[in-house]
């Protein structure tokens, strides 16, 4: 994992008492989500809670995900990291959206490989939530293909009703 630079005063948030237990699979937070929902071309990402403020996710890179022939599209890989870092909110129960996402591409990711992503919350300062993740090829201890850092900004639930279609009827309950 990259060394994460945190601003002075950032602290680790508390793991919410209702957060999924370590090892537990996280629910799909929205059935049409490109990352974890049942969208035919989506990532169909499966994510389980780790210890503390960590998550472990994985998805199979398919023909739907190509940029160059036989290789995953970089923007699509960034999407997978956005999804994983966003889902960290299920551990803290802080509703937040991506403000900034920085992705380092270190190795090509071929079609038919499985990308394993470990994500963690690094700290919180005010409304800013600092997160990072590493993606490895074909095994949880496989070669590092990508690393990423995300800054999430805490928002009120009105963010989703004001800018989107609200949360009514959605099959997620913890964090939009």
Ligand X SMILES: CCCCCCCC(=O)SCCNC(=O)CCNC(=O)[C@H](O)C(C)(C)COP(=O)(O)OP(=O)(O)OC[C@H]1O[C@@H](n2cnc3c(N)ncnc32)[C@H](O)[C@@H]1OP(=O)(O)O
Task: Pick the catalytic residue from 38, 63, 82, 122.
Answer: 82
With contacts defined by CB under 6 A, name the span among 58-66, 110-118, 141-149, 150-158 that binds ligand X.
150-158
Should residue 15 be labelled a site residue for ligand X when binding is judged by CB under 6 A?
A: no
Should residue 126 be labelled a site residue for ligand X when binding is judged by CB under 6 A?
A: yes
Q: Which residues 29-48 are close enough to bind ligand X by CB under 6 A?
A: 29
* The residue to which tokens 């490895």 are assigned: 136
Distance CA 89, CA 96 (A): 7
Query: Quick check: 175 and 105 in contact, CB under 8 A?
Result: no
Distance CA 82, CA 99 (A): 10
Distance CA 25, CA 5 (A): 30
Q: Is 63 noted as a catalytic residue in this protein?
A: no
Cα separation values, 35 from 3, 79, 126, 133, Å: 26, 7, 28, 16
Closest-by-Cβ residue to ligand X is 86
Give the x/- contact pattern for ligand X in 78-117, rule: CB under 6 A: ----xx--xx-xx------xxxx-----------------
| Count of residues of this chain found to bind ligand X when the rule CB under 6 A is applied | 18
Among 4, 60, 71, 151, indicate the residue that binds ligand X (CB under 6 A): 151
Measure the CA dihedral 161/133/74/93, to 10°. -10
Should residue 128 be labelled a site residue for ligand X when binding is judged by CB under 6 A?
A: yes
- Among left, alpha and beta (phi > 0; psi -120 to 50; other), residue 164 is beta
Catalytic residues: 82
Residues at the contact surface with ligand X, assessed by CB under 6 A: 29, 82-83, 86-87, 89-90, 97-100, 126-128, 151, 153, 155, 175
């Amino acid at each position: 994992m990259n060394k994460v630079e945190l601003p002075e005063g950032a602290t680790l948030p508390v793991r919410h008492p209702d957060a999924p237990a370590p090892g537990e699979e996280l629910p799909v937070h929205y059935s049409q989500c490109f990352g974890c929902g049942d969208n035919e071309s989506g990532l169909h990402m499966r994510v389980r809670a780790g210890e503390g403020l960590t998550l472990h996710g994985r998805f199979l890179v398919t023909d739907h995900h190509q940029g160059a022939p036989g290789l995953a599209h970089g923007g699509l890989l960034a999407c997978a990291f956005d999804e994983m870092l966003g889902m960290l909110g299920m551990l803290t129960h802080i509703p937040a959206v991506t403000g900034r996402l920085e992705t380092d591409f270190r190795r090509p990711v071929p079609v038919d490989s499985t990308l394993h992503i470990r994500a963690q919350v690094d700290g919180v300062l005010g409304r800013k939530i600092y997160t990072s993740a590493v993606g490895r090829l074909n095994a949880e201890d496989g070669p590092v293909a990508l690393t990423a850092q995300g800054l999430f900004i805490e928002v009120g639930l009105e963010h989703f009703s004001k800018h989107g279609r609200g949360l009514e009827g959605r099959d997620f309950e913890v964090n939009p």
